[in-house]
Amino acid sequence: PNGEARTHAGLPGQNFHACRDGSGDMMCTAYDRTCADEGMTEWNPGGVSWNKCCSFDSDGVFESCDNDCAHDPETNENNFLCKDTSDGEGLYTAADEKCSDYVGLTEYYPDGFEKEALETPDDMGPEMYDYAKAAGAYIHSDSWGGNTPAYDVQVNQVDTYAWNNLNFLPMFAAGNEGEDATAGTPEDASGIQYTYTDGRGTLGNPTNAKNCISVGAALSDNSEAIDNSMLATKLGDYWDSKTDWTWQVDIGGSEGVHWSNALIRGFRVDVSTTAPAAGDHSLAQSAAVVTNPVDLCSAITNKAQMSGKVVIFRWGSCLGLDDLQEMVTAGAVGIILYTWDWYTNDRFQVIAAGSATGLTIPIIVVPGKEGELLKQLVEQRGEGVTLGISGPILPPTNKFDNMASFSSLGPTYDWRIKPDLVAPGDSIYSADTLTDAEVAAGDTCGKVDMDGTSMATPIAAGAFTLLRQYF
């Protein structure tokens, strides 16, 4: 009833078990807990004795295991878990002795038995969040998580608890896989799966929960100097050493005023496609029209409506440079196209003709979600909506306005945008232990320079706490 270990060869049953998790790591149970209680399997079926050690005669032959170990039974320091080669039973050595010191014993775990490990709870609500809430905490900062993008049981537990406790805010670190990791997309409508190598899709769990705040990392004042290496890397062959790639869509008109504060930005096309005077893609607000069809996969039927207007369409496999020329010939004053780049290997989509086309009107490319918003506004509100282009939006000079390259990115597997916000997480000073020499010298503040979304999350949680306290 108390999870007692099996009794064999004189070994008394004890209430501690040696267990291993799915990855093979070992740990011990707490008192009166079985391996199953901890969500693990038993290293030795039935468990092995925890705080009893075995004695051997002068020839190394086993005598008994009735002796108390000279060690702390809660950590098992200086003792090794061994296996009897004759019957596979688990035994512990005496203090500071190894399995190889005895005849007929080999090590179950070559580096010795690990100390009890920190494990996430089986149920995030009653086993973690309820304790914090009972203590009066309503913001929970968690700098841990896994790398899998799956929406699993633990993620659902976070969402469920936050939904049932609307004043409680879980916050999780986004992860640090954005710089090095690759990630696969879900299959598209044709069953094709793409591989991202630029940080997209690296957000793990439970930070991918719907009802938590996922915190990414920005640079800090301690970070190294900002350069344009990210633009150069992402744009590849299109990089022209200029920083005028980003432009903003301005929404106006009697029916578009409610969207005037929408922050919609995109990239200009390559100069080989269009070359406005002085590279200026800005455009005064004008009426807009959506092409019919929007994907240009058949002949455009509404060219007569394009004169003096901004033209919107979806960039897909059917786009040709002759389509752009037809819009210009029809009198279009600017073009805004949008693309769903989630199902592409390249993060930034840039139109390049390869050789000059002679076009001179502003043309920018915006993300698919924002493009669909503009399309719906224009189709539903008609002449009541005007669109313009302003910029360029130069790279931010404040370090904290720039993402840290290591920060994991969305989208999630169900295409939600994450992380939800970012906070400084690069080169952050954290507490550190002092050496004897530092203590002797009178130092009272040990600190260490650290990077990670695990640093950004408590900073964001502290800001949220101040905000909650104020209101």
Mean pLDDT value of segment 184-206? 78
Tell me, what's the pLDDT at 13?
Answer: 37
32-41, 223-232, 252-261, 311-320: lowest mean pLDDT where?
Answer: 32-41
Range in 223-227, 294-298, 316-320 the model is least confident about: 223-227
Q: What's the pLDDT score for residue 7?
A: 33
Share of the chain above pLDDT 90, in %: 40
Question: Mean pLDDT lowest for which of 1-10, 58-67, 130-139, 456-465?
Answer: 1-10
pLDDT surpassing 90 at residue 361: yes
More confident residue, 341 or 363: 363
- Beta-bridged to residue 386, according to DSSP, are 252, 287
Of residues 95 and 322, more confidently modeled: 322
User: The whole model's pTM is what?
Assistant: 0.64
* Higher per-residue confidence, 115 vs 358: 358
Amino acid at 151: Y
The residue type of 103 is V
Residue with tokens 């009972």: 134
Residue 251 pLDDT greater than 70, yes or no:
yes
Residue 327 pLDDT > 90? yes
What pLDDT is attached to residue 269? 87
Listed in sequence order, the residues at least 6 apart from 106 whose beta carbon sits closer than 8 Å to its beta carbon are: 82, 83, 85, 99, 100
Residue 116's pLDDT is 45
The predicted pLDDT at position 356 comes to 72
pLDDT at residue 200, as a whole number? 80
Lowest mean pLDDT among 11-15, 109-113, 140-144, 433-437: 11-15
pLDDT surpasses 70 at 226:
yes
Q: What does the pLDDT read at residue 67?
A: 47
- The per-residue pLDDT for 85 is 78
* 369 vs 174, higher pLDDT: 174
Distance from C-alpha of 336 to C-alpha of 327, rounded to nearest angstrom: 12
Rounded to an integer, the average pLDDT of 86-112 is 66
Q: In this model, does residue 236 exceed pLDDT 50?
A: yes
> How many other CB atoms sit within 10 Å of the CB of residue 228?
14
Residue 216 pairs with which residues in a beta bridge? 422
Residue 50 clears pLDDT 70, i.e. is over it: no
Does 112 or 447 have the greater pLDDT score?
447
Q: Both tokens of residue 30?
A: 């707490």
**For range 202-218, the mean pLDDT:** 95
pLDDT digits (tens, 9 = 90+) for 446-461: 888 999 999 999 999 9
pLDDT tens-digit profile of 388-398? Answer: 999 998 878 88
* Least confident among 101-115, 117-131, 201-215, 319-333: 101-115
